[in-house]
Amino acid sequence: MRLKDIEGKLKSEHNSQTVPDVLQRAKKAPINKLLDGQTPLKAFDKHTAVRLLWCVMLLLVTAVLATFAIAMLPDGAKDEVAVCYVNVKVESGGETVVYGIVVENYETVSVFVKEKQNQTVIAQNLQKRGYSLESAINDVCEQKEGDRITICVLGKDVSADFANAVKDMFSPYAANTSVNDSTVIFELKDFLGSDKTDVGALIDEYVTKFQQ
């Protein structure tokens, strides 16, 4: 076989072989068909947009649910204020004066009333709403040596520490302190003419009576 024939045969065999189109196969790979045949960059942009949209929707739903939950809370639970009643008896110069003070959050006066002088009912609102408790006491109660002052605090979860703090505002003349004393509760019911037994309800009635 001549050299020319051999070359022709090899050339013929070479031309008969199909070379794979690597570029076309790469273009058809799954990574290039992430979203409807989009390119990887466009597919990434769509994924990001969808995720952000879901995040925004989730935040909106959470905000709506939180608002609804707050709206369903009872009024007292939304902005609960600790309220107590302070009964102060001042014995001075043979006279006894009884004061009733409703205090919010253990520091701010809601109502300050001169209830009795000796056995006479006075029921006078002394207009100290918004004052600090100590300032109101200093304005109203002129203390002097020999005075005997008795303090009782009524209220839910009220502590002896608060009663002692009130006592310190009268120091050194305050004598006795107590918390939720049954005798004082009875006297408060009698003063209001109320048949309620719950201390919180009595305090509410007291505030309603003297803030009108």
pLDDT at residue 39 greater than cutoff 60: no
pLDDT at residue 107 greater than cutoff 90: yes
Spatial distance between the Cα atoms of 11 and 33, rounded to a whole number of angstroms: 39
Confidence (pLDDT) at 69: 66
Residue spans per domain, the chain: 12-75, 83-210
Across 29-44, b (16+ Cβ under 10 Å) vs e yields: eeeeeeeeeeeeeebe
Tokens 């902005």 belong to: 79
Render pLDDT for 48-97 as a digit per residue (tens, 0 to 9).
Answer: 777 777 787 888 878 777 776 666 665 544 457 789 999 999 999 889 99
pTM: 0.62
For 115, other C-beta atoms within 10 Å of its C-beta total 21
The residue-averaged pLDDT of 28-34 equals 54
Render pLDDT for 116-173 as a digit per residue (tens, 0 to 9).
Answer: 999 899 999 999 999 999 999 999 988 888 889 999 999 998 989 999 999 999 877 7
pLDDT at residue 186 greater than cutoff 60: yes
Confidence (pLDDT) at 112: 97
Spatial distance between the Cα atoms of 130 and 103, rounded to a whole number of angstroms: 10
Start-end of H helices in the chain:
3-16, 22-27, 40-72, 75-78, 133-140, 160-170, 182-192, 199-210
For 161, other C-beta atoms within 10 Å of its C-beta total 9
